[in-house]
Structure 1
Amino acid sequence: MEQVPIAVSLLRRGIDGLDDALLLLVAGRRRLVAGLASAKRRGGLPASDPERERAVLARGDGLARRLGLPAGLARRQLSLLIADGRALQGIDAHTSTASHALFPTPRPGGDPMTPLPTHPALRWFPPPRRWAPLLRRVPQAWQRRLLEHAVGQLLDKPLRAGDLGFLQGRRIGIEVPDLGLAWVLGLEDGRLRALGGQPEASVRGSATDLLLLASRLEDADTLFFQRRLELTGDTELGLTARNLLDRLPWEEVPLAVRIVLHRGALAASAAREAWRASR
């Protein structure tokens, strides 16, 4: 067995100690959340507090900047904690305002990103699984061209910068089980292409959750934590792709793409909640 240098061993012990401390702090936070839930009930206060969630995320962003932490790191970790706190209080995780706070707060006055209002008629909008038989009739060639165009628009800048070179000769899959759809993507001649064959890694999730992820209305860590997204196959390849998306500056995505994703995700999420409430 190779001898581990003393410095490496000591540093690893220090990291282990900090990891233990983090878990102890998480356990302490959960106890405080449980006490808070009881205090809210006694005081007749609503369990959900969107303004408080936004304040927690904003405070974390500010502290992260002062500490020199990578952008988004504090927000992802705090989003996980908020999602866990909501679960402890029996609040529906799918309506988490913490995840919506990951998207910039819309400005008044007709900003194109202003959330769409919900409508009672949405409960009659069929869930994605009802669309699956119809979508299966769409020719595969059309599906591939549409996917390539959509992904190319979303990842135009990292493609031109060569940041997707790790996908050269590799295959990563996207599975949407409620729509009965699955695609395999790879890099060919500097462009993302829909390919045949089996993927080396796959991301699996519902149509609505994948749309929420693409629109930045939900955080990847939160979705994985809640088991609404699954990563299978070559974990390293999948995590590399996910980390690239996390680092992608949202403001550099073409405005038209952001508007379509944002409004589509809000409408899909509202339709899902309306459908669930009507059952």
Structure 2
Amino acid sequence: MTQRTLAPARPAAPVGAVPEAAPAPPRNRRPRTVTPRTLLVAAVAWFLAAVFLLPYLEMVVTALRPARELRDATYLPSTFEWANFIDVWRESHLGDNLRVTLLVSAGSTLLVLLVAIPAAYYTARMKFRGRKLFLLLVLITQMFQPTSLLVGLYREFYQLDMLNSVWTLILCNAAFNLAFAIWILTAYFSSIPEALEEAAMIDGLGRAGALLRITLPLAMPGVVTAMIFTFIAAWNEFVMGLTLSTVPESQPLTVGINSFIGNYTVQWNFLFAGSVIAIVPVVILFALIERKVVSGLTAGSVK
């Protein structure tokens, strides 16, 4: 008589226990092959990155050169003069210029968003008569260059006794960047389904509540894109700052850096040290929100 060997019985699982999932079968991953095309694309990308980064590297090296070695035909100085950054901060109004630039850039960005968000939302949601004409007029205002309006702006703010004022630069920078913000936000609001707002209003929200709680969070990449472009445009603005601000303490950073260029000599070490200080905040800001900027640039491209 044949004897059967019985396997030990598994203990019963307690009631309500979640059964253990079976281990997933091992996947056969194929080794990733590097094609010549991939190597070529990577080499071209590194070459282009080096081309764009070399001027900035030269700017940093020149900012650290001693004054006696500014005319030497060498790639690197014998010693790095870190005191150049301290001297340029002490011997000029660079601190005041940086404060003015921060106030102007932040104030212009805030004012543009406060005006552009309601205007773009109304244009995207309401099919009113003259909508296309309004967008066309907004586009036409973008075609005007600040340089062509400087004489009129200077005369107007002179009569209002608003020269050498931070508010003057805020108003001018906001006016010249408002059209771009309205256009990009209109495209982004149009890409968001209106049914989401209708569902929110059925649940008791009003039009403003639906905008603030539903539409605006979804449109945040577009808002960030408009914000960063307005901020950078106001940060880099030079012509209006030079014309509407004549006192060194009230001038923006771009005009303050230009003061190191004299009639007969140029303080290259201080000029480049101030330039390094000027680009650091913008680089940090752009690096923090770069993903939202890229997603906002494609706003409204897919329907």
Higher strand share: 1
Do the structures match in fold with TM over 0.5? Answer: no
Q: TM-score, normalised by structure 2?
A: 0.28
Q: Using CA pairs under 8 Å that are at least 6 residues apart, name the structure with larger relative contact order, 1 or 2.
A: 2
Q: Rg bigger for which structure? A: 2
Normalised by the length of structure 1, the TM-score is: 0.29
